[in-house]
Amino acid sequence: MKTTIVPAQITTVEDRIIGNLTFVQVLMLMIPLITGTVSYVFLPPHLHLAYHKAIIIILQFFAFGLLASRINGKILAEWLLIFIKFTVRPKIYIFTKNDLATRVVEEMEVEKVITSKKIAKTKTATEISDKAVSLSDQQKIEQLLVDPTFSLRFQFAKKGIHVSLKPSKN
Protein backbone atom coordinates (compact mmCIF):
# COMPACT_ATOMS: atom_id res chain seq x y z
CA MET A 1 0.00 0.00 0.00
CA LYS A 2 1.36 3.38 -1.01
CA THR A 3 1.35 6.21 1.55
CA THR A 4 1.93 9.88 0.90
CA ILE A 5 2.80 12.69 3.24
CA VAL A 6 0.40 15.63 3.21
CA PRO A 7 2.15 18.97 3.73
CA ALA A 8 1.01 20.99 6.75
CA GLN A 9 0.42 24.20 4.78
CA ILE A 10 -2.47 22.69 2.80
CA THR A 11 -5.54 23.96 4.63
CA THR A 12 -8.34 23.79 2.07
CA VAL A 13 -9.40 21.11 -0.35
CA GLU A 14 -11.81 21.98 -3.12
CA ASP A 15 -14.55 19.39 -3.40
CA ARG A 16 -15.26 18.19 -6.92
CA ILE A 17 -19.00 17.99 -7.50
CA ILE A 18 -19.37 17.01 -11.16
CA GLY A 19 -16.26 15.71 -12.90
CA ASN A 20 -13.55 18.33 -12.38
CA LEU A 21 -16.03 21.12 -11.56
CA THR A 22 -16.16 22.60 -8.07
CA PHE A 23 -19.27 23.94 -6.37
CA VAL A 24 -18.45 27.55 -7.33
CA GLN A 25 -17.98 26.57 -10.97
CA VAL A 26 -21.30 24.71 -11.03
CA LEU A 27 -23.05 27.76 -9.53
CA MET A 28 -21.43 30.03 -12.11
CA LEU A 29 -22.67 27.76 -14.89
CA MET A 30 -26.19 27.68 -13.39
CA ILE A 31 -26.53 31.49 -13.23
CA PRO A 32 -26.98 31.86 -17.03
CA LEU A 33 -29.56 29.05 -16.97
CA ILE A 34 -31.66 30.87 -14.39
CA THR A 35 -31.28 34.35 -15.91
CA GLY A 36 -31.83 32.94 -19.41
CA THR A 37 -35.07 31.34 -18.27
CA VAL A 38 -36.19 34.59 -16.63
CA SER A 39 -35.39 36.60 -19.76
CA TYR A 40 -37.21 34.02 -21.94
CA VAL A 41 -40.33 34.27 -19.78
CA PHE A 42 -40.49 37.99 -19.00
CA LEU A 43 -39.01 39.80 -22.02
CA PRO A 44 -41.44 40.46 -24.86
CA PRO A 45 -42.61 38.46 -26.81
CA HIS A 46 -43.43 36.36 -23.74
CA LEU A 47 -42.58 32.64 -23.96
CA HIS A 48 -41.44 32.96 -27.58
CA LEU A 49 -37.89 32.82 -28.81
CA ALA A 50 -36.62 36.07 -30.34
CA TYR A 51 -33.22 37.16 -31.64
CA HIS A 52 -32.52 39.56 -28.76
CA LYS A 53 -33.36 36.84 -26.19
CA ALA A 54 -31.09 34.33 -27.93
CA ILE A 55 -28.23 36.86 -28.07
CA ILE A 56 -28.61 37.68 -24.35
CA ILE A 57 -28.69 33.98 -23.37
CA ILE A 58 -25.68 33.08 -25.56
CA LEU A 59 -23.62 36.03 -24.22
CA GLN A 60 -24.43 35.05 -20.64
CA PHE A 61 -23.39 31.43 -21.23
CA PHE A 62 -20.18 32.56 -22.91
CA ALA A 63 -19.28 35.11 -20.16
CA PHE A 64 -20.05 32.86 -17.18
CA GLY A 65 -18.48 29.83 -18.87
CA LEU A 66 -15.31 31.85 -19.40
CA LEU A 67 -15.34 33.05 -15.77
CA ALA A 68 -15.79 29.46 -14.53
CA SER A 69 -12.76 28.13 -16.44
CA ARG A 70 -9.53 27.36 -14.54
CA ILE A 71 -6.15 29.00 -15.06
CA ASN A 72 -3.23 27.93 -12.83
CA GLY A 73 -5.52 26.21 -10.34
CA LYS A 74 -7.87 29.17 -9.82
CA ILE A 75 -11.05 30.03 -11.64
CA LEU A 76 -10.93 33.08 -13.86
CA ALA A 77 -13.41 34.96 -11.62
CA GLU A 78 -10.89 34.82 -8.74
CA TRP A 79 -8.13 36.10 -11.04
CA LEU A 80 -10.45 38.92 -12.13
CA LEU A 81 -11.08 39.89 -8.49
CA ILE A 82 -7.34 39.88 -7.79
CA PHE A 83 -6.71 42.09 -10.83
CA ILE A 84 -9.48 44.55 -9.87
CA LYS A 85 -8.16 44.83 -6.29
CA PHE A 86 -4.68 45.45 -7.68
CA THR A 87 -5.77 48.20 -10.07
CA VAL A 88 -8.03 49.94 -7.54
CA ARG A 89 -5.44 50.06 -4.74
CA PRO A 90 -3.59 53.34 -4.07
CA LYS A 91 -0.47 53.58 -6.21
CA ILE A 92 1.70 55.46 -3.70
CA TYR A 93 1.55 55.01 0.06
CA ILE A 94 3.42 57.41 2.26
CA PHE A 95 3.57 56.57 5.95
CA THR A 96 3.69 59.46 8.37
CA LYS A 97 3.01 59.32 12.07
CA ASN A 98 1.42 62.77 11.87
CA ASP A 99 -1.19 61.69 9.31
CA LEU A 100 -4.66 62.81 10.38
CA ALA A 101 -6.52 60.53 7.97
CA THR A 102 -7.37 57.84 10.51
CA ARG A 103 -6.81 59.72 13.73
CA VAL A 104 -9.69 61.13 15.78
CA VAL A 105 -8.76 64.66 16.78
CA GLU A 106 -10.89 66.64 19.18
CA GLU A 107 -10.44 70.35 18.77
CA MET A 108 -10.73 72.27 22.01
CA GLU A 109 -11.19 75.97 22.31
CA VAL A 110 -8.51 77.49 24.50
CA GLU A 111 -9.45 80.62 26.36
CA LYS A 112 -6.77 83.10 27.33
CA VAL A 113 -6.57 83.53 31.07
CA ILE A 114 -5.61 86.97 32.28
CA THR A 115 -3.95 86.84 35.65
CA SER A 116 -3.78 89.81 37.90
CA LYS A 117 -2.02 90.42 41.16
CA LYS A 118 -5.32 90.97 42.89
CA ILE A 119 -6.92 87.59 43.17
CA ALA A 120 -10.45 87.49 44.46
CA LYS A 121 -10.99 85.45 47.54
CA THR A 122 -12.33 82.06 46.68
CA LYS A 123 -13.84 79.47 48.87
CA THR A 124 -11.82 76.33 49.15
CA ALA A 125 -13.61 73.33 47.82
CA THR A 126 -14.63 70.64 50.19
CA GLU A 127 -13.74 67.09 49.44
CA ILE A 128 -16.31 65.34 47.32
CA SER A 129 -17.33 61.94 48.51
CA ASP A 130 -18.00 59.00 46.25
CA LYS A 131 -21.71 59.18 46.98
CA ALA A 132 -24.13 59.63 44.11
CA VAL A 133 -25.22 63.19 43.37
CA SER A 134 -28.95 63.78 43.02
CA LEU A 135 -30.46 64.98 39.76
CA SER A 136 -31.40 68.40 41.15
CA ASP A 137 -27.82 68.94 42.37
CA GLN A 138 -26.50 67.92 38.95
CA GLN A 139 -28.77 70.48 37.28
CA LYS A 140 -27.62 73.21 39.69
CA ILE A 141 -23.97 72.39 39.02
CA GLU A 142 -24.58 72.41 35.28
CA GLN A 143 -26.26 75.83 35.50
CA LEU A 144 -23.28 77.19 37.45
CA LEU A 145 -20.81 75.82 34.91
CA VAL A 146 -22.71 77.33 31.98
CA ASP A 147 -23.21 80.68 33.72
CA PRO A 148 -20.74 83.23 32.24
CA THR A 149 -20.57 85.22 35.49
CA PHE A 150 -18.63 82.43 37.20
CA SER A 151 -15.29 80.94 36.23
CA LEU A 152 -14.16 77.43 37.03
CA ARG A 153 -10.61 76.96 38.28
CA PHE A 154 -8.55 73.80 38.71
CA GLN A 155 -5.55 73.82 41.04
CA PHE A 156 -3.25 70.82 40.99
CA ALA A 157 -1.66 69.95 44.33
CA LYS A 158 0.20 67.01 45.82
CA LYS A 159 -2.91 65.69 47.49
CA GLY A 160 -5.14 66.00 44.41
CA ILE A 161 -7.03 68.56 42.38
CA HIS A 162 -8.75 71.52 44.02
CA VAL A 163 -11.70 72.82 42.03
CA SER A 164 -13.03 76.28 42.79
CA LEU A 165 -15.77 78.46 41.35
CA LYS A 166 -15.35 82.22 41.58
CA PRO A 167 -17.15 85.20 40.10
CA SER A 168 -15.47 86.37 36.92
CA LYS A 169 -14.52 89.98 36.30
CA ASN A 170 -16.28 90.19 32.91
In order, the DSSP letters of 3-63 are: --PPPTT----PPEEETTEEHHHHHHHHHHHHHHHHHHHHSSSTTS--HHHHHHHHHHHHH
Give domain status of residue 68, yes or no: yes
Q: Which of 31, 54, 88 is the last residue of a domain?
A: 88
Tens digits of per-residue pLDDT, 115-157? 555 555 555 555 555 567 777 888 887 887 788 888 888 888 8
Give domain status of residue 126, yes or no: no
Give domain status of residue 105, yes or no: no
Count up the domains in the chain and report the number.
Answer: 2
Give domain status of residue 38, yes or no: yes
Give domain status of residue 130, yes or no: no
Give domain status of residue 76, yes or no: yes
Give the residue numbers spanning the domain of 51: 16-88
Cα 51 to Cα 53: distance, rounded to the nearest angstrom: 5
Question: Has residue 113 got a pLDDT over 80?
Answer: no
Tens digits of per-residue pLDDT, 54-110? 999 999 999 999 999 999 889 999 999 999 999 999 888 777 777 666 667 677 676
Give domain status of residue 75, yes or no: yes
Burial of 32: CB neighbours in 10 Å, binned 0-12, 13-18, 19+:
buried
DSSP secondary structure, 46-109, as one string: TTS--HHHHHHHHHHHHHHHHHHSEETTEEHHHHHHHHHHHHHS-S-----TT--SS-------
Give domain status of residue 118, yes or no: no
